[in-house]
Amino acid sequence: MVGSKDKSKEKRDKRLQEISLLRTIPYSDHQRWWTSETVAVVTGANRGIGFEMVRQLAGHGLTVILTSRDENVGVEAAKVLQEGGFNVDFHRLDILDPSSIQDFCKWIKEKYGCIDVLINNAGVNYNVGSDNSVEFSQMVISTNYYGTKNIIRAMIPLMRHACQGARIVNVTSRLGRLKGRHSKLDNEAVRAKLMDVDSLTEEIVDKTVSEFLKQVEEGTWESGGWPHSFTDYSVSKMAVNAYTRVLAKELSERPDGEKIYANCFCPGWVKTAMTGYAGNISAEDGADTGVWLALLPDQAITGKFFAERREINF
Ligand code: NDP
């Protein structure tokens, strides 16, 4: 008898096969809104999914800025792609360091003037396997949530005004889901607040993560209804998911010609340093939905959550 785990594995493998095939189909001229002058920025791109998104976007003919918090490692990573003939540039960027963000923005302004795509990929996770350490909660929330918000805020004024709209893509995770059988969140009050997109604000998301961090500090988080595995990481991604919706709502008020579309996606469980290379898909497959979202010809899609090139529930 085929178990439900086998069935979902079968379904996932089939979808991944379909996507591998879709990736080989070139974009047609009318779908291609970008040129070699189109500039995409990827954070935390010296390795893993970020590096792969740079490679794929450059393969589609965009100019891609590979950023890394470590200068030497980033230069080396960019060199690999430059030697492969890709149009890839490098600049240092640590999303936790306001002066690094400022330097980066200044450099972009001077060298490129503006950007078209921002992919917020940089992230950390200190849970190994099924461990559930909250020891590094502060760092995880600071990097994954506040770091992401800070670079977005700094880059918005540098996003190109164009009829096809600029794009922000946040790399999050299904671990931060609020709804359905896969949700790890038992705290009904938090769920209700984060689910109510009409009244959701950045302040509510900030307050939610602050409350979590307070409970961690006080040692009471275990009875707080927070996810019981990958706790801090899941809370950080839940916050970025919620923030993506708030951001999309705010950006939708911009006039035509100045629109910025913001979406997020889960790459799946990917064989990268973050998972100790224990994932079940390659970085190439993990990067796919992010690249697809960044290049979406139908630009009016915003405030949504995706996986395997399909919309999923938050
Ligand atoms: P990696 O650990 O391989 O890559 C993470 C990247 O983020 C590294 O380049 C790292 O730099 C960088 N980074 C960390 N902190 C900062 C910072 N302060 N400023 C700039 N860059 C920083 O992991 P993945 O490629 O797997 O992860 C990429 C994204 O995908 C993350 O957001 C992750 O949460 C998400 N994700 C991954 C999944 C998976 O299964 N792998 C599943 C779901 C989501 P450095 O090399 O210097 O440490």
Residues with Cβ within 8 Å of 294's Cβ and at least 6 positions away in sequence, in order, are 40, 53, 57, 117, 119, 167, 169
Ligand 1 atom 19: the closest Cα is on which residue? 94
Residue 306 CA to residue 314 CA, distance in Å, equals 9
Q: Which domains does the chain have, with CATH numbers?
A: 35-311 (3.40.50.720)
Q: For ligand 1, say whether the CB of 43 is within 6 Å of any of its atoms.
A: yes
Structure confidence at residue 2 (pLDDT): 59
Structure confidence at residue 183 (pLDDT): 83
Alpha helices in 84-181 (DSSP H): 98-111, 137-141, 148-155
Structure confidence at residue 310 (pLDDT): 96
Q: For ligand 1, say whether the CB of 279 is within 6 Å of any of its atoms.
A: yes
* Ligand 1 centroid to residue 126 C-alpha, Å: 11
Residue 120 CA to residue 128 CA, distance in Å, equals 23
Structure confidence at residue 101 (pLDDT): 98
Residue 128 CA to residue 93 CA, distance in Å, equals 26
Residue 79 CA to residue 86 CA, distance in Å, equals 9
Helix (H) or strand (E) holding 311: strand 310-312
Q: For ligand 1, say whether the CB of 70 is within 6 Å of any of its atoms.
A: yes
The packing angle between helices 283-294 and 48-59, to 10°, is 50
Give the amino acid at 309: R
- pTM confidence score: 0.97
Structure confidence at residue 128 (pLDDT): 80
Q: What is the mean pLDDT of each run of 10 residues along the chain (314 residues)?
A: 76 92 93 97 98 98 98 98 98 98 98 98 89 90 98 98 96 92 88 96 98 97 92 97 98 96 97 95 97 91 97 96
Structure confidence at residue 131 (pLDDT): 73
> Residue 131 in contact with residue 125, Cβ under 8 Å?
no
Alpha helices in 84-147 (DSSP H): 98-111, 137-141
